[in-house]
Amino acid sequence: MPATLIDSAIFQGIFSSDEMRHVWSDENRTQKYLDIEAALAKVQGRLGLIPQEAADEIISHCRLDQIDMAKLRQQTERIGYPILGVVSQLNSLCRDKLGEYCHWGATTQDITDTATVLQIREGLAIVDRELTAISAAMARHAKTHRDTPMIGRSNLQQAIPVTFGYKMAGLLSAIERHRERLAQLRERVLVGEFAGAAGTLASLQQGAMETQGQLCAELGLKQPVIAWHTIRDNIAEVGAFLGLVGGTLGKLSMDVKLMMQTEVGEVYEPFAHGRGSSSTMPQKRNPISSCYIHAAISVVRQLSAALMDAMVADHERSTGPWEIEWIVLPEAFCLMAGALKQSRFVLEGLEVDAQAMRRNIDLTHGLVMSEAVMMGLGPFIGREYAHDLVYDICREAVKQQRPLLDLLAEHPEIKRHLDRAALAKLCDPANYLGQSGAMVDRVLATLS
């Protein structure tokens, strides 16, 4: 009986993905516990810390199909943690009491934290793959529309011309920084935990550090330099990273929503029959994916803050903050998977209307070129005076509802310095795109 949108039979494909939901599922989490217990037994058998016969017997039962999940739920509700329930079931499955060597020298949090890191590794791989696809789609738009003029906007007002490629390249630069952050944080986050009750590994009088190192190696994780039971900056960094990615996806969705407005009509989400339609207004084409992106990333940001709260842990093993991570990490990753999936869908099928972009530039009959005119007049009459003069002419153009070029060409002071042909060049949006093309090229050149 699912109660959240992530697990809803109706909404799960919108707000998450099956692949990410599997990563954080009970089944995968429990299998990770078993993988760690098997790796621990293997290492300790090899080191002679437990009998090899016991190691082999334990490993043979570290399979999810041998765990009674209903019983594990009951055990977890009684004990408060699932690890002891898993270990208890493994013990009972092993012959001749060989299962007593299971979990040798470990503590509950060692297994839980290491399993979480393994899940994070799988989750980040999905995020990385989606970011790579989003980067490629943005790069295509940036390259295709490198020189496609559109109006830049400031405070929701028309400002000066930019290009659609420039807009895409700006977002692309952020996505590439996120990919760089992801590569960097893997080194800090993909670290195992095996430290015992208070982090000192006092439970193993021999082979303690060897066990820790070889266990991490078996699992493909780095060995910690010291226990991190209550030092949680690594987990919080993952949350901060997801929040940053969400911010960029939210920026994308915001711009798409605004550009899809009827009065603007510059881009559209991919078309599918019936998608985005209204129950009462047949003409509607709503920005559905962008709405879902906005909702998902807004929650992810709050979850990122919760992971910061989880850093404030007491002493060597905490009372409560740790469990915040259990609640937050699955939600954050699952919602981020949904936002990434929707963003990729939007970008890979985005409809771009270059004619509408040009039409919107021309809405003001040249007023958006006032800065270009001011800068063109500056060398002749001074920048500040040119600003005030052009400002007054702009107001008059609005009042008379005439093109700015006509009023400029008629003005006696301006005519002394620039003829109509020169003014027409200043009023051409294609001549006032600045270094947008060069900036697009620089961003594209950074792609691997």
Closest CA to 397 of 409, 415, 414: 409
* CA 70/CA 76 separation, integer angstroms: 10
Q: Describe the crossing of helices 108-144 and 83-93 by its angle, rounded to 10 degrees.
A: 120
Q: Of residues 278, 383, 416, 442, which has the active-site annotation?
A: 278
Containing 83, the helix (H) or strand (E) segment is helix 83-93
Burial of 283 (0-12, 13-18, 19+ CB in 10 A): exposed
Q: Describe the crossing of helices 108-144 and 436-445 by its angle, rounded to 10 degrees.
A: 140
Angle at 146 between CA 144 and CA 150, to 5 degrees: 105
Chain centroid to Cα 437, Å, comes to 27
* CA 108/CA 103 separation, integer angstroms: 9
Q: Of residues 317, 359, 402, 420, which has the active-site annotation?
A: 317
**Alpha carbon separation from 183 to 176, 243, 443 (Å, rounded):** 11, 16, 19
439 contact partners, CB below 8 Å, separation of at least 6: 166, 169
395 is a catalytic site residue: no
* CA 89/CA 418 separation, integer angstroms: 89
Instruction: Specify the long-range contacts of residues 297-301, CB closer than 8 Å, at least 24 apart.
Output: 297/246, 297/247, 297/249, 297/250, 297/253, 297/335, 297/336, 297/339, 298/246, 298/250, 299/331, 299/335, 300/242, 300/243, 300/246, 300/332, 300/335, 300/336, 300/339, 301/243, 301/246, 301/247
Q: Two tokens at 300? A: 């992810």
User: How many Cα atoms within 13 Å fall on the side-chain side of residue 390?
Assistant: 25
* CA 329/CA 243 separation, integer angstroms: 12
Output the CA torsion sign for 106, 110, 112, 115: negative
278 is a catalytic site residue: yes
Are the C-beta atoms of 124 and 182 separated by less than 8 Å?
yes
**Residues with catalytic function:** 278, 317
